Amino acid sequence: MKRVAVTGLGILSPVGNNLESCWSAVLNGESGIGKMTLLNLEKQSVHIGGEVKNFDPAPFFGNEKEARRNQRFVQMSVAAARMAMKDANLELSDELKLETGVSIGVGVGGLAYCEEQIITMHEKDPSRVSPFTIPGFIANMAAGITAMEMGAKGPNICVTTACTSGTHAIGEALMLIQTGRAKVMIAGGAEAAFSQLAFAGFSKMKALCSKFADEPTRASRPFDAQRCGFVMGEGSGVLILEDLEFAKARGARIYAELCGYGMSGDAYHMTSPAPGGKGAVRAMAQALKTGGLNQEDVGYINAHGTSTEANDANETAAIKTLFGSNAHSINVSSTKSMTGHLLGAAGGIEAVFSVMALHTGIIPPTINLENSDPECDLNYTPHKAVERRLKAVISNSFGFGGTNGCIAFKSLN
């Protein structure tokens, strides 16, 4: 099977609008969580989120009209893809366009736009509904429009597996290159799910953090004993993946090798993980096996780490089960402590952070880890980034429906 290189990174997140600003922010432990400005949440019980600030989509499209035609999650996908392509210094010839695909994971899609059109239909008239209603909210428009903007005519897929979407999208892209179906893949996740319905629904489930309203930067606190739910965020993270030999031949700068991919299903509960994180164990083990990695090769895990009681305890148990005596020597961190939870885009931006940790030898911290939870007793890299020579890293994502994903990267050095 062909080997796969990571040659470009693009990202929009609550902590920055490009790779440099995002990476600097997470290394410095800066939170992007604040009081919501994109929505009036006066009637809601939760008023905070991780917004992407000062985002202008127009420069990433052919013109401003084309940018406005697309919903925010699509705009962010295109923007992150443009940045990743530029970072990879990759231009697509007519021939290469046929071998370049797009795989973007989206968990929710244009929920706010769908909500808006439903209100229009009921309060006004069905004839007033926009002709862009359906393409405006279906999840695969992120992959479709990104491909149109890049001219990528190879495989085009959207993975929608809740909060595992971005990770699965990258894993599926890996396999498309490994099996020769594509030479280049633009892969990652995008999400902009802020809407009244999303906040109401997640709040009713008691999934969102409803505390720290006056101190929003403290609200996302993975693995902390006082964690009380996740903080919703938005953004996009995209990787340029290439056939390793092709990347070498064109003289590309290679960040890392994407080497392993694991996935599993809990078959247990609609929203809760299997006890002890048994499904997570299988996904991580599969990522190591397919990546040709031993347990001792992994020096860093970018955890799913949502700041919910069930996830954090079960993910901790899963890491301890798989890695055994090595578990406590691994640096683990949840960058969600700074970005919030980007749902379908989480795996995309966290893959970017994982690659950067491997590439730079610097591991981002988990912030807000103030009170020890006896069930969460690993090295979560609290408060400050640490330097560590890394051979391999993995990134975890788990989603509603009991879906689990893990991707593994290793250094070529």
Q: Please report, to the nearest 10 degrees, the dihedral formed by the alpha carbons of residues 225, 229, 232, 237 taken in order.
A: 50
- Residue 62: the pLDDT is 82
Measured CA distances, 52 to 77, 231, 407 (Å): 13, 14, 25
Average pLDDT of the residues in 170-185:
98
In eight-state DSSP terms, residue 345 is G
Buried b (16+ CB within 10 A) or exposed e, 135-153: bbbbbbbbbbbbbbbbebb
Average pLDDT of the residues in 203-225:
96
Q: Write down the residue that tokens 């290469």 correspond to.
A: 96
pLDDT by residue (tens digit) across 223-244? 999 999 999 999 999 999 999 9
Question: Residue 193 above 80 pLDDT?
Answer: yes
In eight-state DSSP terms, residue 154 is S
Here the contacts of 283-286 (C-beta below 8 Å, separation 24 or greater) are 283/396, 283/404, 283/405, 283/406, 284/318, 284/319, 284/322, 284/394, 284/396, 284/406, 285/322, 286/260, 286/261, 286/262, 286/406
Q: Which two tokens stand for residue 327?
A: 């578990």
pLDDT by residue (tens digit) across 348-390? 999 999 999 999 999 999 999 999 899 999 999 999 999 999 9
Rounded to the nearest integer, the mean pLDDT of the chain is 97
- Residue 63: the pLDDT is 84
Asked whether the beta carbons of 338 and 15 are under 8 A apart, the reply is: yes
In eight-state DSSP terms, residue 401 is T
Q: Give Cα 75 distance to the centre of its chain.
A: 16
Distance CA 338, CA 317 (A): 23
Domain 4-249 CATH assignment equals 3.40.50.300: no
Distance CA 97, CA 99 (A): 5
Q: Give the other-Cβ count within 10 Å of 388's Cβ.
A: 14
pTM (whole model) above 0.85: yes
**Of 260, 246, 77, the residue nearest 170 (C-alpha):** 260
For the chain, what percent of residues have pLDDT higher than 90? Answer: 98
Average pLDDT of the residues in 183-196:
98
Within 8 A by CB and 6+ apart from 192, the residues are: 52, 71, 72, 73, 75, 76, 110, 112, 234, 235
Domain locations along the chain? 4-249, 259-410
Distance CA 6, CA 253 (A): 9
Element (H, E) at 408: strand 403-410
For the chain, what percent of residues have pLDDT higher than 70? Answer: 100
Question: What is the assigned CATH class of domain 259-410?
Answer: alpha beta
Phi, psi (deg, nearest 5) at residue 50: -105, 90
Element (H, E) at 283: helix 278-290
Half-sphere exposure in the Cβ direction for 305 (13 Å, CA): 30
pLDDT by residue (tens digit) across 306-347? 999 999 999 999 999 999 999 999 999 999 999 999 999 999
Instruction: Find the angle CA(218)-CA(222)-CA(226) to the nearest 5 degrees.
Output: 65
Q: Write down the residue that tokens 């096996």 correspond to.
A: 289
Distance CA 235, CA 192 (A): 6
Measured CA distances, 196 to 41, 42, 76, 112, 133 (Å): 7, 10, 20, 8, 18
Question: Residue 413 above 80 pLDDT?
Answer: no
Distance CA 303, CA 119 (A): 38
Half-sphere exposure in the Cβ direction for 118 (13 Å, CA): 10
Half-sphere exposure in the Cβ direction for 172 (13 Å, CA): 24
309-323 vs 278-290: helix axis angle to the nearest 10? 50
pLDDT by residue (tens digit) across 42-63? 999 999 999 999 999 999 998 8
Catalytic residues: 163, 304, 341
Secondary structure (3-state) at 141: helix
pLDDT by residue (tens digit) across 76-85? 999 999 999 9
Question: Residue 297 above 80 pLDDT?
Answer: yes
